[in-house]
Amino acid sequence: MKTLKQLFTAAILSATVLGCNPNPDIPKDECFTRKSTRPAWYNEHPMAGTEADFSVKTDAVRLHFYGWGLDEDSVITVKFPESTDKYNRAILTYRMGGWNEGPSDWDMTTMIMLKNPHDGKFYELVRAFTPYGGYFDINWEKLYYMDITEYLPMLNGEIELHIYYGGWDATDKKAHTVTLTFDFYEGEKEKNTIFYQNIYDSRASSNIGYRSWAYGVKGNDIEDIERLGLREVQLPKEVKSLLMKVSISGHGADRGVFPDRGTTGKGKRANNAAEFDENFYRVILNGEQKFEGYIFYENDSTYRQAGTYKLDRANWGPGLPLKVDWLEIHNLPKDGKLNIDFDLDRFNSKVNDLRGEGVANYIIEVDIFGYDK
């Protein structure tokens, strides 16, 4: 019997054969959606050999538990150009490192949020996960590179970056650190980002702490309107296409049941959801399913470190950035009305308690960016 992963891979291959290769003519279906060719991150700088026209680097930030509340996050201020109109690409370098004697021991969630100077709202620039640091000393570092071009309209003037770290493993001798470098490049733009909107954000409305939403707890359905329910968006008439950023990471060790999986009619027992179990999300636009995404990441090629780093996880791995999905949405409704809904597989939590140890949960942020072409 084929696994969920095998079935999903077969579906992707079938879609490719039918025309979803990187450069097809875009079908005329309203809200046609496909996965972008943009990777979640680069292991080498994508603009290597080209000097940045603007560059700014932060100091190393020592990561430790700052507090539960959003107003307790660590805040750093970065000075950007007053206008970013002349830049056509922006690359963020995310450096993982250690403090004093080296990084601390555990794989913890790190979130970097940008406070938009135009409306005061927060957008997650990057989510990453610290490595099991026991093997590393102060000389250890790991660099990752992300394309953040769509955020250029927000990166002007003096900007606040808010940092969340979900662990208590920092000591006077060891702690994880993060250093950020922003590189901007001048050039003619193929299209302009003229619109952006946050669609879902568990960070701002968590029902269990840890910036996440519980999964499968009775009376707290993750599909409820305050979580992954329907969102109504009115697009400006100038917006011709969208890029959707889907950021989902699974956490918890819940041995609940997926009632719609399996062949016995009794469902399928979870493999410690939501951290170690695969799942799917479905993007529904104006009442029609337009995309199905896979919430899982294989860590068999992750670099050597301490701990269980080789175990596959729900879109992440120790010492790596989040596996983000970038989705293109074309042929937008002429009236600009876009209803967005996200569905996950049904799940019945065994823990079944918002404050219960190991309850399945997901950290979720979904944003859209609108282009003039």
End-to-end CA distance of the chain: 45
**Distance between CA atoms of residues 52 and 91, nearest Å:** 9
Contact call for residues 90 and 183 (beta carbons, < 8 A): yes
pLDDT score recorded for residue 291: 98
Dihedral angle over CA of 137, 138, 142, 143, nearest 10: -170
Token look-up 């042929």 returns: 331
Task: With cut-offs at 50, 70 and 90, classify the pLDDT of residue 3.
Answer: low
pTM, two decimal places: 0.92
Domains of the chain in start order, with CATH, are: 4-371 (2.60.120.230)
For residue 344, give both structure tokens: 């996950």
For residue 196, give both structure tokens: 């952006």
Model confidence over 246-283: pLDDT tens digits? 999 999 999 999 999 987 878 899 999 999 999 999 99
What does 8-55 look like in DSSP terms, one character per residue? HHHHHHHHHHTT-SSSPPPP-STTEEEE-S--S-BSS-TTTTS--SEE
Model confidence over 83-138: pLDDT tens digits? 999 999 999 999 999 999 999 999 999 999 999 999 999 999 999 999 999 999 99
In the predicted model, is pLDDT for residue 7 greater than 60? no
What does 301-313 look like in DSSP terms, one character per residue? TSPP-SSSTTS-B
The mean per-residue pLDDT over the stretch 298-313 comes to 96
For residue 178, give both structure tokens: 């993060």
Token look-up 């950035």 returns: 321
pLDDT score recorded for residue 26: 84
- Cis peptide, bond prior to residue 175, ω within 30 of zero: no
Work out the mean pLDDT of the chain and round it to a whole number: 93
Which among 213, 232, 234 has a CA at the least distance from the CA of 224? 213
pLDDT score recorded for residue 68: 85
In the predicted model, is pLDDT for residue 25 greater than 70? no
For residue 93, give both structure tokens: 């370098």
The mean per-residue pLDDT over the stretch 192-216 comes to 95
**Distance between CA atoms of residues 114 and 112, nearest Å:** 7
| Cβ within 8 Å of residue 82, ≥6 positions away | 156, 157
pLDDT score recorded for residue 12: 46
**Bigger pLDDT: 15 or 176?**
176
Separation in Å, CA 294 to CA 73, 240, 241, 291, 351: 30, 27, 23, 10, 24
Burial degree of 86 (CB within 10 A; 0-12, 13-18, 19+): middle
Model confidence over 159-200: pLDDT tens digits? 999 999 999 999 999 999 999 999 999 999 999 999 999 999
Max Cα separation, the chain?
Answer: 62
pLDDT score recorded for residue 24: 54
Which among 227, 104, 269 has a CA at the least distance from the CA of 170? 104
Dihedral angle over CA of 243, 114, 144, 149, nearest 10: 40
In the predicted model, is pLDDT for residue 16 greater than 50? no
In the predicted model, is pLDDT for residue 216 greater than 90? yes
